[in-house]
Amino acid sequence: MPKFAANVTMLFAELPFLDRFAAARRAGFDAVELQFPYAFEPSEIASRLADEGLELVLHNLPAGDWRAGERGLAVLADREGEFQDGVRRAIDYAGVLGCRQLNCLTGIAPEGVDAARLRALVVENLTYAAAEAGRADMRLLIEPLNTRDAPGFYLNRSAQALELIAEVGADNLFLQYDVFHMQVMEGDLARTIAAKLDRIGHIQVADNPGRGEPGTGEINYPFLFAHLDAIGYAGWIGAEYLPRGRTEDGLGWLADARAG
């Protein structure tokens, strides 16, 4: 049976952030993920994880000025120092929180910059981040996003991500496969996941259109969850969606997945 982690940045948003860990446990999750922990002291989050007996399976590197529209720093020239500071900060947080996977959002590609220069910059930054994560015995993930919801996002297809992973050549660099984003960009979900399974470190789910709960859109999640079991995916599946109402009222998909 797949293992599910609640994304407490997006789920249980009706509650204050630090109260969402208890809500995730009450809903039956054994693990959580989150986008950015940096608004809180790591000890505050660690305490909530310990209180609820939850594992934190993923959080992101700092991604620049989110409110200003930045979605990562790896593709931005003259921000290498800030990127490296963010890598070290993320590793420090993850060490306190017991998190073994960090996701790097590559960012919005600046207009008018040569594609080869952008690729070289991303490879350079990922090489640094993967080496630092490796020294801390952590994985680094990279996640393609769809360009409808994140216009101009540099990394937007799974094949592109695997090319970067191969070029960097780090054993601890993996693909974070978000089913929602990849349904928008390329479809063919089951075959793609099976073909790329050895380099997929984490999977996230939401339905399309609307990024709602599994079962609210076009993706056949009962089939997909059974497929993940059949092909031997052993990692976590992050529930990273936008609940259509109270989170607890939309968890029928989780009960169905666990029932098989």
Q: What pLDDT, on a 0 to 100 scale, did the predictor assign at position 1?
A: 75
Q: What pLDDT, on a 0 to 100 scale, did the predictor assign at position 73?
A: 98
Q: Residue 11 and residue 85: Cα distance in Å, rounded? A: 29
Q: To which residue do tokens 């599946």 refer?
A: 237
Q: Residue 217 and residue 223: Cα distance in Å, rounded? A: 14
pLDDT over 90 (residue 260): no
Catalytic residue among 41, 82, 213, 240: 240
For 31-76, write each residue's pLDDT tens digit: 999 999 999 999 999 999 999 999 999 999 999 999 999 999 999 9
Q: Read off the pLDDT of each residue in 124-142 and give the average, rounded to a whole number.
A: 98
Domain residue limits at 221: 3-259
Mean pLDDT of the residues in the chain: 97
Q: What pLDDT, on a 0 to 100 scale, did the predictor assign at position 59?
A: 98
- Total domains, the chain: 1
Residue 202, helix vs strand vs coil: strand
pLDDT over 80 (residue 251): yes
For 141-167, write each residue's pLDDT tens digit: 999 999 999 999 999 999 999 999 999
The string over 221-244, giving b where at least 16 C-beta atoms fall within 10 Å of a residue's C-beta and e elsewhere, is: beebbbbbeeeebebbbbbbbbbe
- 186 flagged as catalytic: no
Q: What pLDDT, on a 0 to 100 scale, did the predictor assign at position 259?
A: 85
- Residue 215: which CATH number? 3.20.20.150
pLDDT over 80 (residue 111): yes
What DSSP line would sit under 155-189, residue for residue? ---HHHHHHHHHHH--TTEEEEEEHHHHHHHT--H
Q: What pLDDT, on a 0 to 100 scale, did the predictor assign at position 71?
A: 97
- 33 flagged as catalytic: no
For 176-201, write each residue's pLDDT tens digit: 999 999 999 999 999 999 999 999 99
Catalytic residue among 44, 143, 186, 213: 143
